[in-house]
Structure 1
């Protein structure tokens, strides 16, 4: 073997070695991260902006940490910041609440446009402004919106709404994202329960998670999404889908993410962006 052949072989070896290393590192470098020991684990499609590179998250899924309260924050473009209470990566659901402890105030101007999220289910509530003391013993007031002169109520009952309409000032109707569909009308609520949201894009990652895999971009510079670290006995079958921007798609569950420390045993391609 002459010098030229030896040199070519060495160059090919290094090219192959570094290409493979780069591929493996890119799909496995985005480890699970947390803001505190009590906060939910964060990984693809989400990322913590100050702790994980841009390639570790999908557009529209950026989160931040509030170091003072040790909470995870999600910023919705037209509705402001919310605390992330939990994320279910398998069923692609996230539940959020108001960091200022007055979720009904946020609901009055809730707008999910410009984000990849939508409600898991929705329940329509009518808001009313009543004189202080009126029906306070019969209905649940929204304390954080009420004062000494006025009491705010929210109801999904048409019967109660008709009653309040005759004695109070109607404010607005709000479609509230909820965890389960309500088959019975709610007489009144303080509406402080978490909002349940879901996302559709990137699709397929929930299936990857359910089989113990890790969803993410194939490389730091690639727009191809792959499912890595899937045990051989449960390799998922996926069809590719194109990535949408948060403005094109709206986004689709509760639980902890699988262990991201496992070595990659297989990789399944999900699609290209």
Structure 2
């Protein structure tokens, strides 16, 4: 879990107006009820199913219902199964359709790279701020929602690195197949090994602890979480204005959004938590 400081920049004067709004409140789409598909029974704004009325939900967060399974297409041809949607912390949990919880020999269908998210409406990291009653903050906390699972094919066995978890007897191939839970630097790649595929999994365990392949596969079967905080902020904080947005995690029951309006006079530069680009005439 990494910590940092939210920042903004300007060339001239600015002031802040802080307004806190509940994450559970939904202002638009009041005529739209919740949609359901299979195990996911709470599809509501900003999400929508393809067959929902046009005024319901945001097209950027459209889901499909296929064979009674809720599906999210992250990229063309890459359809992940939706396990749950959490409106309290702005996350959606996905599972690769190639993974079967009852069969440890199953592998992810898609090779996942986190950089793919840069062009999408989702993030793998959330920014959360803890606010005191007097309005001051204790800083921003960056929460990592998932970790990499790297599958490797090796011509020789690797016995001196506990991070290389042997997938046998689950995966039986002519060469040795290992799984590494967490990031793997290039210098940590052993001779005779090559990357077979990348997968994503939310942590049911620490990447630093030793684990069995059964535990790694169980984590893959649980899936990985993505944040749709960007969409929630744009909806609550009026994306036509210059707003920054973060999560106030002071409340224990559910997280709330905090909108910060910045009014800048003259030419200036503004960088929000949503990574909006700086520009002129703000």
TM-score of the superposition, structure 2-length normalised?
A: 0.51
1:80 Cα deviation after fit: 1.0
**What do residues 4-57 of structure 1 show as CA deviations (whole Å, max 9, x unaligned)?**
xxxxxxxxxxxxxxxxxxxxx974221101013x3331000000011332x312
Q: Determine if contact 2:122/2:230 at 8 Å carries over to the other structure.
A: no
1:124 Cα deviation after fit: 4.2
In structure 2, the residue matched to 1:95 is: 93
- For residues 1-273 of structure 1, the aligned pairs below 5 Å read 27-36=29-38, 38-53=39-54, 55-66=55-66, 68=67, 70-77=68-75, 80-101=78-99, 104-108=108-112, 111-120=116-125, 121=144, 122-130=146-154, 139-141=165-167, 146-156=171-181, 165-166=190-191, 168-171=192-195, 174=198, 176=200, 178-179=202-203, 182=206, 184-187=208-211, 189-190=216-217, 191-204=220-233, 239=259
Q: Distance in 2 between matches of 1:142 and 1:108?
A: 22
Structure 1 pair 41–58 and aligned structure 2 pair: CA distance change class (3 A)? same
Structure showing greater relative contact order (alpha-carbon pairs closer than 8 Å, 6 or more residues apart):
2
Query: Across the two proteins, how many residue pairs are aligned to each other?
Result: 189
**What do residues 71-118 of structure 1 show as CA deviations (whole Å, max 9, x unaligned)?**
100011256100000000111000001223256342445622432112
Q: Distance in 2 between matches of 1:63 and 1:57?
A: 10
Structure 2 residue runs of 5 or longer lacking an equivalent are 1-26, 100-105, 126-143, 242-255, 262-273, 276-282
Other structure's SS at 1:76 match: strand
Kindly report the root-mean-square deviation, in angstroms, between the aligned alpha carbons of the 2 structures: 4.6
Q: Determine if contact 1:130/1:152 at 8 Å carries over to the other structure.
A: yes
Q: Distance in 2 between matches of 1:91 and 1:134?
A: 40
Larger % of helix: which? 1
Q: Distance in 1 between matches of 2:69 and 2:188?
A: 41
Larger radius of gyration: 1
Q: Distance in 2 between matches of 1:238 and 1:118?
A: 18
Q: Determine if contact 2:123/2:227 at 8 Å carries over to the other structure.
A: yes
Other structure's SS at 1:104 match: coil
